[in-house]
């Protein structure tokens, strides 16, 4: 099988659980690092799937790699190559299919409850039909493309996860970060830039939807283990459509 392409937009925003899943399944992959000026491939032909990771930038920023990445996603759809997007990656996926990406009315930072909207899809993708606790860190939000189906939502950000079903594969866009591992959460929570963003958002939102670093790190191993099982379920469902 052809390798999976992972597009990484920032040095500290790596594939985490997604890489672990690929290694467990012995799926080959390669990484294009836009922060190191790796070019976005012009075609999805060499790949069995494409994964777009998160980042602190916005999908509507004027960055040299954004339009090529959107073009790659549209090319992947035409070639039958499934796409999975985490946070910024989910926003880029939505934008590639014509849906707007905007500033969210409220930031979500830290562990938060995500509710099931479409029970059948939620069970298919997460194995759950009730509230999930997932890790968030975003100030923007996507809208669901007209051809997409939303199946997860939250109190502060309605559009949490959507799928675009094709006949032999499915694209998955997520607003949350199921790829996170305990070391990644610790790094984000204790980074000076992260701490500054947390404090500013907590003051602006009176703490609503934004956790202090010590709360993010409370029981982080258990919480992340639970989320890891959900992540691997979602990855396995997505991988059924990988182009052989």
Q: What is the pLDDT of residues 120-133, one digit of tens each?
A: 999 999 999 999 99
Element containing residue 20 per DSSP (H, E): helix 17-25
Average pLDDT value over all residues in the chain? 97
Q: Is the dihedral of CA 124, 129, 135, 136 positive or negative?
A: positive
Residue 71 is predicted with a pLDDT of 98
Determine which helix (DSSP H) or strand (DSSP E) holds 33, and give its type and residue range: strand 29-33
Chain CA centroid to CA 144, Å: 14
The helix (H) or strand (E) run that includes residue 221 is helix 220-239
Rounded mean pLDDT, 33-61: 97
Give pLDDT, residue 190: 93
CA distance 154 to 156: 6
Q: What is the bridge-based pairing of β-strands 4-8 and 161-165? A: unpaired
Question: Beta strand pairing status for 161-165 and 170-174?
Answer: antiparallel
| pLDDT tops 90 at residue 134 | yes
CA separation for the pair 214, 61 (Å, rounded)? 31
Q: What range defines the domain where residue 109 resides?
A: 4-239
- Residue 234 covered by a domain: yes
Q: Which residues contact 134 (CB under 8 A, 6 or more apart)?
A: 111, 112, 114, 176, 177, 178, 227, 230
Question: Is 139 a member of any domain?
Answer: yes
Report how many domains make up the chain.
Answer: 1
Beta-bridge partners for 51: 6, 84
Residue 167 maps to a domain: yes
Residue 140 lies in a domain: yes
Average pLDDT, integer, range 100-106: 96
Conformation bin of residue 192: beta by default, left when phi > 0, alpha when psi is -120 to 50: alpha
Could you give the CA distance from residue 170 to residue 158 in angstroms, rounded to a whole number? Answer: 21
Nearest to 139 by CA among 195, 179, 188, 198: 198
Asked whether residue 244 is domain-assigned, the answer is no
Q: What is the CATH number of the domain that holds 172?
A: 3.40.50.880
For range 59-67, the mean pLDDT? 97
Give pLDDT tens digits for 187-232: 999 999 999 999 999 999 998 999 999 999 999 999 999 999 999 9
Any idea what the Cα angle at residue 124 is, between residues 130 and 6, rounded to 5°? 105
The whole-angstrom separation of Cα 85 and Cα 174 is 6
- Does 37 fall in a domain? yes
- Summarize pLDDT for 145-174 with one digit per residue, the tens: 999 999 999 999 999 999 999 999 999 999
Taking each helix axis from N to C terminus, what angle separates 220-239 and 182-190, rounded to the nearest 10 degrees? 120
Residue 96: C-alpha distances to residues 47, 175, 224 (Å): 18, 15, 30
Q: How far apart are CA 141 and CA 178, in angstroms?
A: 16
On the question of pLDDT at 244 being above 90, the answer is no
Q: What is the mean pLDDT of residues 10-14?
A: 96
The model's pTM is 0.97
pLDDT the model gives residue 29: 98
Asked if 128 and 122 touch (Cβ cutoff 8 Å), the reply is yes
């Amino acid at each position: 099988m052809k390798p999976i392409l992972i597009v990484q937009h920032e040095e500290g925003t790596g594939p985490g659980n997604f890489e672990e899943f690929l290694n467990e399944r012995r799926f080959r992959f390669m990484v294009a690092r836009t922060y190191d000026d790796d070019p976005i491939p012009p075609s999805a032909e060499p790949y069995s799937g494409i994964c777009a990771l998160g980042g602190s930038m916005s999908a509507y920023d004027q960055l040299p790699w954004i339009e090529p990445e959107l073009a790659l996603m549209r090319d992947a759809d035409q070639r039958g190559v499934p796409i999975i997007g985490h946070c910024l990656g989910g926003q880029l996926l939505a934008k590639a299919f014509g849906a707007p990406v905007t500033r969210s009315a409220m930031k979500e930072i830290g562990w938060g409850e995500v509710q099931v909207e479409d029970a059948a899809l939620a069970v298919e993708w997460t194995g759950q039909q009730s509230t999930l606790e997932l890790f968030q860190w975003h100030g923007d939000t996507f809208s669901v493309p007209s051809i997409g189906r939303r199946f997860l939502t939250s109190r502060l950000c309605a559009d949490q996860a959507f799928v675009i079903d094709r006949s032999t594969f499915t694209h998955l866009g997520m607003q949350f970060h199921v790829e996170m591992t305990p070391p990644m959460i610790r790094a984000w929570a204790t980074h000076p830039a992260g701490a500054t963003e947390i404090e500013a958002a907590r003051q602006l939102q009176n703490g609503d939807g934004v956790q202090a670093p010590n709360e993010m790190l409370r029981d982080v191993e258990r919480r992340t283990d639970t989320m890891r099982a959900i992540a691997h379920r979602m990855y396995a469902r997505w991988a059924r459509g990988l182009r052989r």
